[in-house]
A = this chain, B = another copy of it.
Amino acid sequence: MTLFFEDFTPGSFGCFGPCHVSREDIIAFASEFDAQPMHLDEEAANRSLLKGLAGSGWHLCAIASRMSYDGFLHRTAVLGSPGVNEVKWLSPLRPGDDLMLDVDIESSRPSSSRSDCGVVDVVETIRNAAGQTLLSLRMPLTVQRRDRPGVSS
């Protein structure tokens, strides 16, 4: 692990990707987790508010998770998260989209329950190649401190 609490200072943290999403990816996720016709069937999708086949909003969240892991969480001393403060689905996920993930640190603070950790409030945004924002979410991460009592770094 190379990233600790001290490395997450407020401001822009990084931009990660691209992540390509195919029609097959969209249909596979929706078939298993969100089988609404607008996520599975082109004709039904054309008649929906989405105006064409579009991925599940939960698929976008899962993709944000994947891009976060590949981008920085795989080398972060993160212990977990109690949940998500807010998810906004802003534009449809389309077959063939190449997605980028922007990560901003909104704030960071000592953990109230663990002296060896801090809490980092992360804002994640996914945009497509045209620059449209598809997703934004805010969530706290519990991250170990680099310098912890009794631990040599």
Find out whether the CB atom of B82 lies under 8 angstroms from the CB atom of A84: no
Contacts A58-B62, A84-B84, A86-B85; A34 near B69 (Cβ below 8 A):
yes
Q: Once bound together, how far apart are the Cα atoms of A50 and B80, in whole Å?
A: 9
**This chain: copies in complex:** 2
Is A20 an interface residue when CB atoms closer than 8 A count as contact?
Answer: no
Q: Once bound together, how far apart are the Cα atoms of A66 and B89, in whole Å?
A: 18
Contacts A58-B65, A62-B33, A66-B33; A86 near B89 (Cβ below 8 A):
no
Q: Once bound together, how far apart are the Cα atoms of A124 and B65, in whole Å?
A: 21
A-B contact pairs, 30 of them (CB 8 A): A29-B62, A32-B66, A33-B62, A33-B63, A33-B66, A34-B65, A34-B66, A34-B69, A35-B66, A36-B69, A36-B73, A36-B74, A38-B80, A48-B79, A48-B80, A49-B80, A50-B80, A56-B65, A57-B83, A58-B58, A58-B61, A58-B65, A80-B89, A81-B89, A82-B88, A83-B86, A84-B84, A84-B87, A85-B86, A87-B87
